[in-house]
Structure 1
Amino acid sequence: MAALDRNDIFVMAATVGLVGLAGASHFTQAGPLLSFLACTLALAGVAHVIGEATDQLGNHLSASATGLVQSAVGSLPELFVCIFSLRAGLVSVVQASLIGSILANALLVLGLSFVVGGWRHGVLVFNDRTPRMIASLLLLAVSALLLPTLANELHLPAAAHEQPLAVVCAVVLLLVFAIMTKAMLEQGQRAVPAEAHARAHAWPLGVAVAVLLVCAAAAVLVSDWFVEALEPAIDAFGLSQTFAGLVVVAIAGNAIENVVGVRLAAAGKADLAVSVMLTSALQVAVVIVPVLILVSFGMGGAAFTLVIPPILAAALFVSVLVVTVVTVDGEADMVDGAALMGLYVIIATIFWWG
């Protein structure tokens, strides 16, 4: 404990308390709303500590090793929620939550970051090279969702082979992501810039690894409890599964990264804010989605393919195009931010009724 500063101890203690509250509400069957809220807060706390511990590893590992750890570990809570949801047969929730995660990062939070940063600093200027690369990969990922959906809607021969097609797309996306990661690391960049969470006080290597292992175990438990409370909570709130996944689950799963992006933009660090938000969206599209496809075939339960409701595919495609247009010139202001947020509200409203 002496290796941790007071703020670290407070955050970890609060997270332990939230996990304990989530466990108590789950095992005592305190009610779906209380259990859902407790699990949501616990997931956010675990995600925050995982982010801190992963960044602390950067003080002991090389840039490439740190980048790989960040890519593999940073999305554990969201990945476990999706795996347990698939096991419970909530395929529509998983589809909507993954797409909602991309939309929340690329539209809602990036837009809010531009609004806050533009209000405090005027026009935000950032390096346009990384956003262009991420936008091109997002378009590839969207195509991997859009084309199988079109094949299904148009009743093409490929529609009878959803699972093999999904596996091929998953392997392609993972290979492209590996090439992108190699290129970024050779340029001295990390998957998520360490400055986003950097702390002056460094943890010992053993402490960082131990915290990561404990948080990974906690993420498994809380994700399972979260999914068990999810369907009753959806019924209690009177929400459709699509809206719950697209908005509620997606925002809850990315709460910490959302706060980080807005805080960086408010501090005038536009490069970091844009990188954090777009990289978070990209990791969902080209890492979590392919991994879920491959995992779902081996664990039983509902198989996860890339055939999604056409309106979700269209909303994702339009959103990525708008983000590309807004960020391609390396400048953004409050108007750009308001436009991104407005598009998110329109898409969310469409799915309010299911």
Structure 2
Amino acid sequence: MSMIVNVLWPFVPAAITIHFARPDLHVWIFALNYIAMVPTANLLGFAGGELAKKLPKVLGVLMETTLSSVVEIVLFMILIHNDNNNNLIPVIQAAILGSILANLLLCLGLCFFAGGLRRNEQVFHEAVSEVGSGLLLVAGFGLLIPSAFYSALSGSATTGTFTPEELISNTRKISRATSIILLVAFLMFMWFNLRSHHSIFDEVLEQDEAEDEDRSKELKRAKLTFTECIIAIAIALTCVCMSAVFLVQEISYIVERGVPDNFMGLILVPLVEKAAEHLTAIDEAWDNQINFALFHCLGPSIQTALLNAPLVVIVGWGLGKDMDLNFEIFMIVLLVLSILVVGNFLRDGKSNYMEGGLCVLVYVIIAVTTWYYPNPHEGTTNVQIPMGEGHGH
């Protein structure tokens, strides 16, 4: 499946060329760079996977998910750097939640569906699913708290208990403190996986490798050397960064053309940045390596919630931008419900195509709803309340 994506490589030079040759064609630049990110992210995923095989099991898988989340970190950093007057902050906030939703509902759903087509059910190890779903729930509530604080008190801010400015300032401080705490949780997660409990995960993943129904083909396939992996990663990262920069520069023009901010962040951005990861995970589920697939769905979700989101808040703080974890309540409710739904499917340690299909359908419902959700600057959101006024707008 990943090899088919390579037919998109011609889009990469085309996207770079059109950016410099015709900077006025905003829709074309956006569309071509959007497509160009898929094969470059795919190469990054493939080279990361080859590099992972040269490292100890768990370290390899974590290294792979970290490399693929580099695309996301690059996108977030470019978005926060290019932000003027908070115009891109709603897109970043939606992209943080959208990234987790895409992994949990779309990617995991497609993995369950693809794996379930060839067999009645797939059984995965409780160690992977328990740690994953438990951590995600903690991360979800961590991300929810600043939004809940703001929403609960936004009514009081307009009745004179304290000023809207104070509420916004306090929410930002809570977001920054929460970000630092979530980074500590991420370090604990890494220590748990790499040091204290790595033997459990090693055992699970080795057992998965033994069950790989594509193993015979795998052995015949030529692999990249260590040097080739590094070169491929360097080329892929350069192309991904260029596409990300060009893509972000066009977002405001695309939003002006009628694509809602929330749809852009929650659906469009995560789909392209996660494309390579999703292909890898679905391929693994198809080959009956369901624990590997779970790692590739839950790992990046945890990484987005515990590392990438706090990182963008802290970098925004350093750059003097108003980035915080005060998300749309509508969006955060979607996230927490999705985590609960997926946690419920993971609890029995088995999956089938119906569970997968249901997850994907829920994702489609979210995509449709998000298209009709108004933009934050239209005053419908908890992200902005009237500064120094006595009423809402």
Tell me the equivalent position of 1:165.
174
Provide the residue aligned with 2:381 in structure 1.
Answer: none
Give the match for residue 100 of structure 1: 98
Residue 164 of structure 1, CA deviation = 2.8
Answer yes or no: is 1:291 the counterpart of 2:326.
no
User: What does residue 245 of structure 1 align with?
Assistant: 265
User: Equivalents in 2 of 1:93, 1:151: separation in Å?
Assistant: 21
Closer/same/farther in 2, CA of residues 281 and 333 from structure 1, 3 Å limit: same
SS in structure 1 of the partner of residue 224 of structure 2 = coil
Residues in 1 aligned to 2:5 and 2:352: alpha-carbon distance in whole angstroms: 33
CA shift for structure 1 position 158: 7.2
Closer/same/farther in 2, CA of residues 72 and 260 from structure 1, 3 Å limit: closer
1:334 paired with 2:332, answer: no
Q: 2-side partners of 1:37 and 1:73: how far apart?
A: 24
**Counterparts of 1:32 and 1:128 in 2: how far apart (Å)?**
48
Are positions 1:182 and 2:182 aligned together?
no
Which shifted more, 257-266 or 57-66?
Answer: 57-66
Match of 2:330 among 301, 311, 316: 311
- 2:80 matched to which residue of 1? 86
Percent pairwise identity: 23
> Aligned to 1:220, which of 241, 258, 271?
241
2:45 maps to a residue whose letter is G
Per-residue deviation, 1:352: 1.5
State the 1:64 CA deviation. 6.6
User: Structure 1 residues 93, 120: CA separation in 2 closer, same or farther (over 3 Å shift)?
Assistant: same
Instruction: State the match for 1:209 in structure 2.
Output: 230
Letter in 1 for 2:170: H
Counterparts in 2 of 1:120 and 1:56: CA distance versus 1, 3 Å:
closer
CA RMSD between the two structures:
2.8
* CA distance in structure 2 between the partners assigned to 1:181 and 1:257 by the alignment: 19
Q: Is the 8 A contact 1:257 1:276 kept in 2?
A: yes
* Residue 35 (str. 1) matches residue 29 (str. 2): yes
Q: Normalized against structure 1, the TM-score is what? A: 0.87
Larger Rg: 2
Cα distance in 1 between the residues matched to 2:194 and 2:144: 30
1:144-155 correspondence to structure 2 within 5 Å: 144-155=142-153
Q: Which residue in 1 is equivalent to 2:388? A: none
Structure 2 portions without partners, runs of 5+: 155-165, 374-393
1:265, 1:202 → 2: CA distance? 21
Q: Kindly provide the CA deviation profile for residues 177-212 of structure 1, in whole angstroms up to 9, marking residues without a partner as x.
A: 22222222232448xx79799784333333322332
Moved more, 41-50 or 316-325: 41-50
Kindly tell me: are residues 260 and 298 of structure 1, through their superposed partners in 2, closer, same or farther at Cα, counting changes over 3 Å?
same
Moved more, 197-206 or 32-41: 197-206
Equivalent-residue separation in structure 2 for 1:105 and 1:287 (angstroms):
15
Whichever residue aligns with residue 46 of structure 1, its letter is T
Q: 1:307, 1:51 → 2: CA distance?
A: 32
Question: Following TM superposition, by how much is the alpha carbon of 1:12 offset from its aligned partner in structure 2, in angstroms?
Answer: 7.9
Other-structure match for 2:70: 76
Shift of 1:95: 1.0
Cα distance change on mapping 1:203 and 1:91 into 2, 3 Å: same
What's the counterpart of residue 4 of structure 1? none
Say if 1:351 and 1:13 are closer, same or farther in 2 by CA, change over 3 A: closer
Shift of 1:270: 1.9
Q: Does structure 1 retain, via aligned residues, the 8 Å contact 2:98–2:266?
A: yes
Question: What's the CA shift for 1:246?
Answer: 0.9
Alpha-carbon separation, structure 1, partners of 2:228 and 2:237: 14
> Structure 1 63/267 Cα, relative in aligned 2: closer, same or farther at 3 Å?
closer
Q: What's the counterpart of residue 52 of structure 1? A: 46
Letter in 2 for 1:19: V
Aligned to 1:3: none
Q: Could you tell me how far apart the structure 2 residues matched to 1:68 and 1:326 are?
A: 23
Quick one: structure 1 residues 66 and 120, their matched pair in 2 at CA, closer, same or farther if it must change by over 3 Å?
Answer: closer
State the shift of 1:30 in Å.
6.1
- 1:235-274 correspondence to structure 2 within 5 Å: 235-236=256-257, 238-274=258-294
Q: Report if the CA contact (8 A) 1:33-1:233 is conserved.
A: yes
TM-score by length of 2: 0.78
- SS where residue 153 of structure 2 aligns? coil
1:351 is aligned to 2:370: yes
Stretch moving more, 56-65 or 317-326: 56-65
Contact 1:111 1:340 in 2 (8 A): yes
Match of 1:40, SS state, is helix
Deviation digits for residues 224-256 of structure 1, max 9, x if unmatched?
A: 1011122223333x2211012111111111111
SS at structure 2 position matched to 1:155: helix
One-letter identity of the residue aligned with 1:176:
A
Counterpart in the other structure of 1:119? 117
2:298 to 271, 278, 293: 278
In 2 relative to 1, CA 11–344 (structure 1 residues): closer, same or farther, beyond 3 Å? closer
Would the alpha carbon gap of residues 68 and 122 (structure 1) be closer, same or farther in structure 2, given more than 3 Å must change? Answer: closer
Distance in 1 separating the partners of 2:234 and 2:149: 42
Give the deviation of 1:214 after TM superposition. Answer: 3.1
Contact 1:86 1:303 in 2 (8 A): no
Instruction: After superposition, give the CA deviation of every residue in 1:117-140 in whole Å (9 maximum; x if it has no partner).
Output: 222211121112211111111111
Q: Cα 1:66–1:339, aligned 2, differ >3 Å: closer, same or farther?
A: closer
Indicate if the aligned counterparts of 1:151 and 1:159 stay in contact, CA closer than 8 A: no
Structure 1 distance, partners of 2:145, 2:325, is: 9
Alpha carbons 2:61, 2:295 under 8 Å: kept: no
- Cα separation, 2, equivalents of 1:170 and 1:344: 27
Please name the residue that 1:19 is paired with.
12
